[in-house]
Amino acid sequence: MSILVIEDEIKVANFITKGLQEEGYEMEAAYDGEEGLEMALSGDYEGIILDLMLPKRDGISLLRELRARGIRTPVLILTAKGTIQDKVIGLDSGADDYLAKPFHFEELTARIRSMLRRSTVEKATQLEVGDLVLGTISHKAKRGDNEIELTAREYSLLEYLMRNADRVLSRSVITQHVWNYNFDIESNLVDVYINRLRNKIELEGMSRLIHSIRGVGYVMREKPPESEE
């Protein structure tokens, strides 16, 4: 598991990095807010340890930017700011846990293990494509701050598309998996339901997630394919 430490005090960052490497984690470090944001956006991390008082960009601003961009990597705030108000602000800004300095390394590792366990459970109960999240238990979708109500058939279609993200799916294949019967070439059933989903998950100002592939069908992905209609 790879963890990113964003901490401007080099001694503290090295202490955490070395200690967690000995626990079996792959570690990377950033020493200011701008570098940390860039690495968090471009890297594939299982967790982030974040200081709040950072040069160039403060930790709360960094965290809010990550959440606004749909990055849901678990974040543990590790900072000298330990008042109740500080903790409330950090957690309300999107942090998954909060530990004040000075700290015991054993408590830090225990909190990281707990945070990553919770993340593993959450991933098993939700699907994500970009900033769109679908709960496989609640059957509800959310994009950014927008809660999206789905009918049973809309949920089945969206779940199938999200489970097969980045894969081009023909109308025939979609019909067989979502409606359980053979595709009628004269039917526009799939197109109608795709349009319904788009009206719900692609509101004005939002990027397109369901893309049409000329002569084939549809693909769900963040970036549009070259062959999109």
**pLDDT for the residue numbered 223:** 77
**pLDDT for the residue numbered 185:** 58
Give me the chain's average pLDDT, please: 89
Structural domains in the chain, CATH included, are 2-124 (3.40.50.2300), 127-220 (1.10.10.10)
Neighbours of 62 (CB within 10 A): 25
pTM higher than 0.75, yes or no?
no
**What are the tokens at 229?**
């209609």
**pLDDT for the residue numbered 228:** 57
Q: What is the C-alpha separation between 218 and 198, in angstroms, rounded?
A: 12
Predicted confidence band of residue 59 (pLDDT cuts 50, 70, 90):
very high
Predicted confidence band of residue 184 (pLDDT cuts 50, 70, 90):
low
Number of H helices, E strands in the chain: 8, 12
Kindly provide the residue ranges of all beta strands, DSSP E only, lying in 85-222, ordered along the sequence.
Answer: 97-100, 126-129, 132-135, 141-143, 146-148, 169-170, 210-213, 217-220
Taking only the tens place, the pLDDT of each residue in 10-46 is 999 999 999 999 988 999 999 999 999 999 988 878 8
**pLDDT for the residue numbered 56:** 95
Predicted confidence band of residue 215 (pLDDT cuts 50, 70, 90):
confident
Taking only the tens place, the pLDDT of each residue in 60-75 is 999 999 988 778 889 9
The reply to whether omega before 55 is within 30° of 0 (cis) is no
**pLDDT for the residue numbered 31:** 97
